[in-house]
Structure 1
């Protein structure tokens, strides 16, 4: 057999070419391509960045006009040269050829810049915002801001930070927004959140990422693709022409394209946007300013990689829900993460599409054909790019049946692990709080000041207090508290003293209350709208801490007035010789602490606060011990599963028990952020919920009706709220709130005034129920009760009888900690020598063990037909869809008491006798009311509780089309006529 010459020489030539090219790679790191970078001008150079303008325009007369500017943003770990890897197929070259004006921000290599490794995320965002200003000033045109991967996340954040000022559009490439919806390598979200938080707190505050580490990490995201690319390179090492077309891209990914990350920037990224997912929830902080993506109102174009495992489609598409005020478009590519911006598909699809998009937005061309409005997608329920998709992309096809089986098995494992993780996380979070609560006794040192100090020590840089769009850390608040303590000591306040706090809800009020707690004094919480003279007299205060807004009211009291806070522009203008002390003029550094001072000396049994309420029109002072505060605070944090991922929105003032015990207490114990409001303002509610990233909203009674029923209320797009916590929410409003804020639900609390009995409806499934006893909150029982005789019933053995299911009973609590001196204490109740506190509250307990409030002992309406339990009736009526609010009360007549239920209707709604019959025909306890009537409005207390005093004083309702009475013979509700009303007022009510 004869061999041809070519058959002999070809292998030799191939071997020689391989050796020659391989030697060049070893010596130079790659093949010489002869490529030159695109012409560039440095328009601005500051320590934080350089601003590049590619293909700078010719300034000579007659030069070609410059098109719209596009400012491109690289991620922290990649060189800005990624946009000019090859001149012909790179981003800047393609955009320039299309008539646009390409700009690139270059953050440099932080490990080679003085102070670079101390940069944080805020530094980058503020710098990018300044670069936008420069581009706008230089070109005179609004800027199209385009970012790849994390650079796109920055673009979103800058657009929100600037409220879209000077931005024509935002363009992103593989930039995740809902980061926990889908993570690389299908990492479970709970583990990712916990891990990211841990890494931010304990690793990246000591560690920076070098460029080589970033490169290896990126390659490990898809090791199969990395290995395949290297194998292909080796197999083609003999073919120089084939390699040259991809050589610039290969060298970029293998060595030249990676730069160092600063530890603080990584930590902030992990904490804000992975652990807390605040691009979705809102409330991320830039320079102390709270920002939400709902502030973006310029058009958005998001490039989505179908097989992108880093910026997975479901995570990228989170922008549609996070930015509901923007028109959001997308372009889908069959590409991985880096392939979106570099490579053949990027050159053929991505950058020409960007050029067409910019022209369309500038009115210079039609909408690009591959740009569509982002809508609902099938992947909305997925948790990320499946492993199967990545395998197909990297290795080729595989059996459809085998992949289906693998996916089913993997999904089952993931679902099981997720359930186990959720249970584990909740257990780890809740058990320590309940254990600590259970260990509290009279001599336990515990207080608001102590818990806040513990949190500040554990996470000094943690975000704590949100107000007026700004954020304050635990460390800053704690330092301010200590300074105020020194000021209080300097003016003579000592441990145990009672000091009034007369302040609007603002940071200085929180600081004042906590400072008194840290000092061991008693904070007397005075309402600016209340009877201040009576409150001062009842509580015996000698000093009042006030803010400038309430200074005149405070000076009218016969006490020493101390002024604290008031903002940056306060001007007290105190007359000469005044006895008012301006606390802000005291330099805390000049105050020597006395020997008797010990921070946070309060014991559980000690009085910590005094709050006020009205009972039968009389102002009553209610003393709250540290134990009472701790019970509510730990109970709220445990029941609501509060942690550092949460932001609690405090709608009630801090002088109200709900604000102090539930919102503030729960937030401090849970380590959550607390957002203070300037009172309920329906027009600002949704805005602040998104701006602060509110996850938990506190409420009282019908408060949320002001929001839900406001004509301007609109909740489109994403919202972060997961929970509403409070007490007294009417059943109808409960339904409307959960419908409007789905999937959020309501946790309804009930607590006696002394805090000995606490119930919580955690599941929220039984609307109107008060739930079950709070774990760690002590034992609760229902004592059988005779409403007619107002007696607690005993069994044959002489002990109190337990109420049967759905039988009315008096709520009893086994006391834990100090007992209120005015409490009704009973001994030998269920066993010899046992001790119980009898409350005034009446409940029934259903067969499942859930408690339902039916009223109070003195609130039972005793009619000729039997007892009417007002709260039970109000709940039933509130279940009618047309009803807004309702209240039941008794009206005395010569013939005896009649039970009346007054209700208001939702706008445009009406109610019929049939509705009343269906709702009230068979109350679980007691009998239905004698009369029902519609009123225009129900008076509400300061806490939004419907009041019946004026209605009761007005007597029986007037006859009319919207008033009904219970017919004694038929048991039906019929229209109330004048004749029937007269008869009811004069004659005894006939029994059914």
Structure 2
């Protein structure tokens, strides 16, 4: 009788029971595998440095090949590189003649202080390990990292500016984390969720190893379930299971380690919420780092169906590191399959070995490695779709289905993208507008108060960037409080007017904020101005100066308080008896008086005094807390500033734009404020990447010094999304938009008292001042007769509102205190109403956008009619050859003529026909009488072209670059000696 049909099932059942019992007792099947040999080269609390297959020390032994240092992610054991000796990374590389090294961060829950580690600790440790490998081998190091280990590799390479690195090899390592998130999570939701988790969850908890394993498996539940089913189905066949048993045990239990809460929080905050791998400006122990400093070659191994390190995210390295030669190796594998498993052993590691040899100059470029294409900044797909994972995991669908599914997903995302953007913008903007609308004379609001609020809500938030270092809100707030104590110690009281004579630096910001917190008035003194006049106009009693301005401050015959460390100085000499070194005051021993209450400022209170020049006259401008808050909240709303932004303050803090727009907007928005030592093209590019600048502030023609400099070259991507400021010439505006695409410009116009604020938020109409900023005061245009300089009235005797495209005087309905010097008008549009005249002339187009025409006092009256300077300047600045344009009046032979001076771009020329066409159809007013090209223009400290030197020169001399308006033909012709003589009256 044949019993084989009976014995086979019984034998299978017995084998299954035996193997299953072994798995239950020991966690897996005994494979007899032994790990690859390694030597511990360095052992410190943070890591151990392994060298696999250490070389024989005998002279005749073969010398090791180029070193590869491999980096594991925080939640995965360093043993991942040697899961199986024959198919593991270290074994394959060793057989290919490569010298494999591994950094082992250990299991942090088993190391004293391990659960307090943050990301920066890992990056610095990896940098130290690179130094050791370089020292031992004498060769540059190839740095290879998997997943987050690859992120460490990028960050460490940037931190050390590629020193001693031969190349970087990253396996499924996200760079542009918001380009494609796991499970198609919307990018608009991720930042807020990541911020919340970082601040409120992982600041209080860690992730144990079992939870890390569970989370990893949940990212691909189909494959996880399938692998377990396959294991159970083959449990009777020991020989079939043994080849993959080491890998199974690693993924199921042995390969996972704990993850410290601070490290997770920092990962979420810096690289998901703020995406600073792409934008730059991430902090490594206080130093600001950017991937744009990577210059060594990069190989990114991309998993076609990797749902964790998604292709769109991994390929972000191409834009993030524009100086590096970036290549990619694409294989059809999931996340873990990139480095462990059959495809890794037959495709990934042989390609890596060949890459190392190619970089080392001993081999050819590996097959399948290609230069990485530059993908759009906003990829069309949102990541690896669910359909793709189904195709990969079950092979049950066709490539056509995969493509159609992805296309459908892309269409759905595109349809909802704008809606999500509106939701996010509304979420940020409405609370600010609401707060702005609630401000009245008695509201307590000030710079000092807002700084206190941010320090309370975001103590570890990054507040201030300067000289490559980052300072938190808590640290800045503590420094402000210390300076307040110092001011109290030397007798400064609430309401005192204290001059601030300092360069743009952290101590200047602190001094201004400390005076605000004390309730004193900060008089912002420009170092290049008439300081005696400024002190008199500002009613200054004391001056806070930094060491570089000490000599200038001592000439003012008043007490000088020196603030700012870092300089070698001796202020105890007799000749410095009128000088107090604030840094020598110990704030801890200062007793606060009973009258002191922090941040007492009301909206109506005077907070700052700034200075400006009007027609050559030095004028003081009073700035109340309400005025500051209006600009700060308005800027934060118009620019949609948030915690992920870094605002680059190019303007000095003594300039109203620096104080009100850059500093104010950043503080209110919870954004980082980056201070610059000055505008230089090389420093500008280096700092916008190092700091991860997303918003750049400017005034007038300031950015001209950057983009028109011969040394300026913007290669690769940049993090800037907005430029915010006022007064940018239209031609420069167009060039900035073209150079920094897709960034746009938000141009503001605000009266000195802040009663009227306009903003071109959309940036679509170059040159327009936009529309009234939501939350600001009501404005109106009063119809105006420029010929007779009269505001026009209607038949009832009230002021007539200007029609569309009619010139009108900009009026503002006052909110808060009115500047005593303002032109106040009553009974304007209704009985007893009150309006403040800005004295600026505007027109409003069909869409409701406002265009600056001129100032009422500078309208040029010619025999042909009025000429509006701003309108003419805008028109000629649109000519591609024109750099800048200014229009002014000149007296000649009893007539007043309008003259436009042009500065041309290098190599630029202007045909008279182009000039005639540009000025033929002005929106309002008449064209100028004379147009001429000047070799250069002079500028104010705020980069505003100065008119007085040009006006003082009188009528331009005849030249091939000077034209006059032929009144008969209304065309421009070359200005000759005869014509000039006729114009000038002989």
TM bucket, shorter chain = over 0.9
2:603 maps to 604
Instruction: Say if 1:568 and 1:389 are closer, same or farther in 2 by CA, change over 3 A.
Output: farther
Per-residue deviation, 1:576: 6.1
Which stretch of the first structure deviates more once superposed, 259-268 or 889-898?
889-898
1:106 aligns with 2:124: no
Per-residue deviation, 1:417: 3.7
Instruction: Say if 1:746 and 1:331 are closer, same or farther in 2 by CA, change over 3 A.
Output: same
2:144 maps to 146
Cα separation, 2, equivalents of 1:807 and 1:849: 12
2:132 to 111, 116, 134: 134
Which stretch of the first structure deviates more once superposed, 901-910 or 566-575?
566-575
Aligned partners of 1:930 and 1:965 also within 8 Å: yes
1:79 aligns with 2:77: yes
Per-residue deviation, 1:245: 0.7
Q: Deviations over 1:900-932 (max 9, x none)?
A: 111011111100111112111011111111111
1:438 aligns with 2:433: no
Which stretch of the first structure deviates more once superposed, 320-329 or 417-426?
417-426
Instruction: Say if 1:167 and 1:400 are closer, same or farther in 2 by CA, change over 3 A.
Output: closer
- List alignment gaps of at least 5 residues for structure 2: none
Instruction: Say if 1:294 and 1:408 are closer, same or farther in 2 by CA, change over 3 A.
Output: closer
Per-residue deviation, 1:534: 1.4
Matches within 5 A, 1:378-393: 380-393=379-392
1:162 to 160, 163, 179: 160
Per-residue deviation, 1:13: 2.0
Per-residue deviation, 1:402: 5.2
Per-residue deviation, 1:377: 5.5
Aligned partners of 2:608 and 2:623 also within 8 Å: yes
1:513 aligns with 2:517: no
Q: Deviations over 1:310-350 (max 9, x none)?
A: 00111101001100111111111111100000001111111
Per-residue deviation, 1:870: 0.4
2:976 maps to 977
Task: Count residues in correspondence.
Answer: 985
Per-residue deviation, 1:762: 0.3
Aligned partners of 2:571 and 2:580 also within 8 Å: no
1:917 aligns with 2:936: no
Aligned partners of 1:296 and 1:325 also within 8 Å: yes
1:305 aligns with 2:303: yes
Instruction: Say if 1:569 and 1:357 are closer, same or farther in 2 by CA, change over 3 A.
Output: farther
2:503 maps to 504
Instruction: Say if 1:945 and 1:576 are closer, same or farther in 2 by CA, change over 3 A.
Output: closer
Per-residue deviation, 1:618: 2.1
Which stretch of the first structure deviates more once superposed, 605-614 or 668-677?
605-614
2:836 maps to 837
Per-residue deviation, 1:242: 1.1
1:323 aligns with 2:345: no
Instruction: Say if 1:573 and 1:706 are closer, same or farther in 2 by CA, change over 3 A.
Output: farther
Cα separation, 2, equivalents of 1:213 and 1:99: 38
SS in 1 for 2:189: helix
Per-residue deviation, 1:569: 4.8
- Give the alignment's TM-score, normalised by structure 1: 0.98
2:742 maps to 743
1:45 maps to 43
Which stretch of the first structure deviates more once superposed, 889-898 or 183-192?
889-898
SS in 2 for 1:898: strand
1:348 maps to 346
Matches within 5 A, 1:618-767: 618-767=617-766
Per-residue deviation, 1:717: 0.9
Cα separation, 1, equivalents of 2:850 and 2:77: 62
1:990 maps to none
2:452 maps to 453
Instruction: Say if 1:335 and 1:574 are closer, same or farther in 2 by CA, change over 3 A.
Output: farther
Aligned partners of 2:319 and 2:374 also within 8 Å: no
SS in 2 for 1:481: helix
Cα separation, 1, equivalents of 2:424 and 2:706: 33
Cα separation, 1, equivalents of 2:373 and 2:567: 45
Per-residue deviation, 1:986: 2.2
Per-residue deviation, 1:670: 0.3
1:65 aligns with 2:63: yes
Cα separation, 1, equivalents of 2:17 and 2:416: 51
Per-residue deviation, 1:573: 6.9
Per-residue deviation, 1:577: 6.1
Aligned partners of 1:639 and 1:762 also within 8 Å: yes
1:124 aligns with 2:122: yes
Q: Deviations over 1:731-765 (max 9, x none)?
A: 00000000000000000000011110000000000
SS in 1 for 2:330: strand
Q: Deviations over 1:342-401 (max 9, x none)?
A: 001111111111111111111221221222111235994322112221110011132566
2:282 maps to 284
2:263 maps to 265
Cα separation, 2, equivalents of 1:135 and 1:376: 33
Cα separation, 1, equivalents of 2:379 and 2:852: 41
Q: Deviations over 1:867-913 (max 9, x none)?
A: 00000000000011110000000111224111111101111110011
Aligned partners of 1:675 and 1:692 also within 8 Å: yes
1:27 maps to 25
Aligned partners of 1:67 and 1:100 also within 8 Å: yes
Instruction: Say if 1:405 and 1:60 are closer, same or farther in 2 by CA, change over 3 A.
Output: closer
Cα separation, 2, equivalents of 1:949 and 1:360: 64
1:889 aligns with 2:888: yes
Matches within 5 A, 1:148-227: 148-227=146-225
Instruction: Say if 1:81 and 1:496 are closer, same or farther in 2 by CA, change over 3 A.
Output: same
Per-residue deviation, 1:621: 1.1
SS in 2 for 1:50: strand
Per-residue deviation, 1:420: 2.6
Q: Deviations over 1:591-630 (max 9, x none)?
A: 0000000000011111111111122222211111111111
Per-residue deviation, 1:157: 0.2
Aligned partners of 2:391 and 2:398 also within 8 Å: no
Aligned partners of 1:823 and 1:837 also within 8 Å: yes
Q: Deviations over 1:87-134 (max 9, x none)?
A: 011011111111221111111111111111111111111111111111
Aligned partners of 1:51 and 1:104 also within 8 Å: yes
Cα separation, 2, equivalents of 1:576 and 1:405: 82
Aligned partners of 1:549 and 1:566 also within 8 Å: no
Cα separation, 1, equivalents of 2:551 and 2:404: 75
1:849 maps to 848
Per-residue deviation, 1:771: 0.2
1:294 aligns with 2:299: no
Cα separation, 2, equivalents of 1:50 and 1:609: 56
Cα separation, 2, equivalents of 1:928 and 1:766: 22
- Give the alignment's TM-score, normalised by structure 2: 0.98
Cα separation, 2, equivalents of 1:411 and 1:377: 16
1:36 maps to 34
Q: Root-mean-square deviation (CA), in Å?
A: 1.4
1:397 maps to 396
2:250 maps to 252
